Amino acid sequence: MVIKIDEYSDVPIYMQIRNQIVMGISSGELASGEQLPTVRSLALEMGINTMTVSKTYQILKNEGYITTDRKNGARVRAEIKQSGVISEENKAELRRIVSEARLSGVSKNDIKNLIDEYY
Amino acid sequence: MVIKIDEYSDVPIYMQIRNQIVMGISSGELASGEQLPTVRSLALEMGINTMTVSKTYQILKNEGYITTDRKNGARVRAEIKQSGVISEENKAELRRIVSEARLSGVSKNDIKNLIDEYY
Amino acid sequence: MVIKIDEYSDVPIYMQIRNQIVMGISSGELASGEQLPTVRSLALEMGINTMTVSKTYQILKNEGYITTDRKNGARVRAEIKQSGVISEENKAELRRIVSEARLSGVSKNDIKNLIDEYY
Amino acid sequence: MVIKIDEYSDVPIYMQIRNQIVMGISSGELASGEQLPTVRSLALEMGINTMTVSKTYQILKNEGYITTDRKNGARVRAEIKQSGVISEENKAELRRIVSEARLSGVSKNDIKNLIDEYY
DNA sequence: GTGGTCTAGACCACG
DNA sequence: GTGGTCTAGACCACG
């Protein structure tokens, strides 16, 4: 899986990587149980510091998306806990996006088509 | 229109205000051409720095949502330009949210229902 | 409140500080809404790196014990969410401690007296 | 006695095994003088490194919970020395757990009921 | 002035 | 070899 950093983005690097890995898991590009690159190799590959990648992995681990151990490195977690709900933060973000889309003249159906595309 | 600040949020205050005004315009709570409070009065009312409100208005103006002049103060722009598309940033955010919702076991329809609710 | 680091402990520094702040909040030594030392001042006072203190504050924030913002620094959160239950991790730890105490010849009542003392 | 490793736990494997054996001795599931599996067989059974099991036995021996010799292998120690007190480390841990439970809205009695259950 | 992010580099425990 | 911790130092956004 290719991870790309937008150096001009306001989103911190560790969060950009986190987001792309989450999307990779969701899309199936990263399979359940699949090995992730080591902290060092990913850092080297992306030209960033190991601490930054380490922070990403710790967040993903905390969120229950991956598991890490010193022996095997990081892996996509076999059984990701399903809360069954969208977080309040994400709901607020979704509402903001929908509002902006509406003001830009985007139809409700156009948004729903994007949902279909991304889901 | 009542604007509420979440002191626990990571979203900067100026951005929280900006988002709520945009959502207010989208929902119609803030009518086209409607006068917004002055920077000073809004800052006073919310107990925040005038610089913060000023920054919010500057952004809203740059985004084309409001107009400002010394005579009339800030007003909701009569004709907001409609690009007809969702910004790349918002698309990326939407994709992230959909991915996380999917991994949380939320169905595609549940998300679409939220779109209906927010649109 | 005085925070003390045991440099010979296996518990990481950031976690030692985190634990002491949590205990301070629980005991009331740190009042609701009370200001915590700034990252820089605490780091200086304890002779450790700001990153280490920063990590502590981020964990406490994540756990809902404190709130941080760039303006006011860190404060004990006014309304700490109460799950009403002991985490599985803490239950496992408690069970381990009770088992070891029992094997050391410590009576059930002695342990309960400690609970009274610490609660 | 069945020993189970939680691959998602931050507790090192050698410590997880150590803890379960100690709890097994305390509960009586492992009787006084009972033979423990050999390092090799336990490692094979659990699919882990013999070094890991060896480290576990070394610790248990140092702590006075088991005896080891080349002839008899490892056995639960017949007379485990009873200090009569809880170690300072365990007291600190207990205090942390009680503090967190209290802040989570868990009553003193709920904790004591757990003591009854685990003792 | 505050917390947040990031780097370069180091050492450590686990296995 | 792996992730985890920590330092010294820097720059940034927010307010």
Mean pLDDT over B88-96 rounds to 97
With contacts defined as CB-CB under 8 Å, which chain B residues touch C67? Answer: 7-8
pLDDT at site D96: 98
Pick from A105, B118, A70, A48: which is nearest to D11 by CA? A70
> What is the pLDDT of chain D when averaged over all its residues?
94
With contacts defined as CB-CB under 8 Å, which chain A residues touch D7? Answer: 67, 69
For the segment A87-99, what is each residue's pLDDT rounded down to a tens digit? 999 999 999 999 9
Pair D13, D48: CB distance under 8 Å: yes
Pair C113, D85: CB distance under 8 Å: no
pLDDT at site D69: 86
Which of B13-17, B67-71, C114-118 is predicted least confidently? B67-71
pLDDT at site B69: 86
Subunit contact D108:C119, Cβ cutoff 8 A: yes
β-pair partners for B73:
B69
> What is the pLDDT of chain B when averaged over all its residues?
94
Task: Show the tokens assigned to B86.
Answer: 């969702």
Give the closest-approach CA distance of B72 to chain A in angstroms.
Answer: 23
Interface-testing mutation among B1, B82, B94, B108, with chain A (most A C-beta atoms within 10 A): B94
Q: CA C3 → C1' F1, Å?
A: 36
Q: For residues D81 and C50, what is the distance between their CA atoms, to the nearest angstrom? A: 44
Judged against a pLDDT cut of 90, whether residue D84 lies above it is answered with: yes
pLDDT at site A69: 86
> What is the pLDDT of chain A when averaged over all its residues?
95
Pick from A55, A54, A80: which is nearest to A65 by CA? A80
With contacts defined as CB-CB under 8 Å, which chain C residues touch D22? Answer: 96, 99-100, 103
3-state secondary structure of D1: coil
Q: For residues D35 and B98, what is the distance between their CA atoms, to the nearest angstrom? A: 55
- Please, which residues 3-62 of chain B have a Cβ atom closer than 8 Å to chain C? 7-8
| Cα separation values, B97 from A4, A16, A92, A115, B102, Å | 18, 13, 11, 10, 8
pLDDT at site A70: 82
pLDDT at site B95: 97
pLDDT at site A21: 97
Q: Which nucleotide is nearest to C11 (CA to C1')?
A: F5
Could you say which residues 36-55 of protein chain B have a Cβ atom less than 7 A away from any atom in strand F?
Answer: 48-49, 51-52, 55
- Percentage of residues in chain D with pLDDT exceeding 70? 100
Judged against a pLDDT cut of 90, whether residue A17 lies above it is answered with: yes
Q: For residues C61 and C76, what is the distance between their CA atoms, to the nearest angstrom? A: 9
Subunit contact B93:A91, Cβ cutoff 8 A: no
Q: For residues B56 and C24, what is the distance between their CA atoms, to the nearest angstrom? A: 38
For the segment D4-45, what is each residue's pLDDT rounded down to a tens digit? 999 889 999 999 999 999 999 999 999 999 999 999 999 999
Pick from D82, D52, D79: which is nearest to D67 by CA? D79
Q: Is the CB of A54 under 7 A from strand F?
A: yes
Judged against a pLDDT cut of 90, whether residue C119 lies above it is answered with: yes
Q: Is the CB of D13 under 7 A from strand E?
A: yes
Q: Which nucleotide is nearest to C50 (CA to C1')?
A: F7
pTM: 0.93
- Residue C39: pLDDT band (50, 70, 90) is very high
